[in-house]
Amino acid sequence: MKIFIKFDFTAICNKVLEEKLEELGVKYRALSFGEIEFLEKISKEKLNSLNEALGEYGSEIVENQKSILVQKIKDTIVDMVFNEDNVINVKSSVYLSEKLEHSYGYLSNLFSEVTFTSIENFIILQKIEYTKQLITNNELTLTDIAFKLNYSSVAHLSTQFKNTTGITPSAFQRIITKRRELSNKLNN
């Protein structure tokens, strides 16, 4: 039998972090996504243990100031794109500048310098990943998805999807549908 699972990446990341910090017996306070404040002095050994534990999940403690800001940019973009509560109706440049309290030019230059890609490209990749999730979950139409992700039209979404994945969202939907049908046949 095959099932499909909807992920809330923010909740998963927060749960992993919470569990690892509790295992180490560290008192902390969550400030924002991916940012915590220790409420007590923490030894270098515990910090290394936490970093090792997070490494098992593809995460790590960020210590370099440029890398910290780049991680905040990434986290803010993920939060902006995967926002379930409401549609964010401001330009991403304005949203990032306001959230991170830096000019967009500075954020953009720093992001490109550290990651060798643009903020715009990272946003597109996140939107396409979210689009794939929404298509897989079969919750929304392509029109609804385009609206939810602030695309001007389904055609714009389709163009970016095809440029990123090599196939159209409709083709991706058909593939998912065929896989489900095949899986259902095999399970019956």
Residue of higher predicted confidence among 155 and 27:
155
115-119: list long-range contacts, CB under 8 Å, 24+ apart: 115/70, 119/73, 119/77, 119/92
Listed by start position, the domains of the chain span 1-61, 62-187
Rounded CA-CA distance 24/126 in Å is 32
pLDDT band at 53 (very low <50, low <70, confident <90, very high): confident
pLDDT band at 88 (very low <50, low <70, confident <90, very high): low
Q: Which residues pair with 38 in a beta bridge?
A: 28
Rounded CA-CA distance 23/111 in Å is 34
Average pLDDT over residues 58-69: 82
Write the pLDDT tens digit of every residue in 107-153. Answer: 999 999 989 999 999 999 999 999 999 998 877 889 999 988 888 89
* Overall pTM surpassing 0.95 (yes/no): no
Angle between helices 104-115 and 65-81 (to 10 degrees): 110
Rounded CA-CA distance 70/120 in Å is 14
The CATH number assigned to the domain with range 62-187 reads: 1.10.10.60
What are the two backbone dihedrals, phi and then psi, of residue 20, each rounded to the nearest 5 degrees? -70, -40
Rounded CA-CA distance 151/184 in Å is 34
pLDDT band at 47 (very low <50, low <70, confident <90, very high): confident
Q: What DSSP assignment string belongs to 123-141?
A: HHHHHHHHHHHHHHHT-S-
Instruction: Give how far Cα 174 sits from Cα of 108, 135, 138, 162, Å.
Output: 37, 10, 11, 14
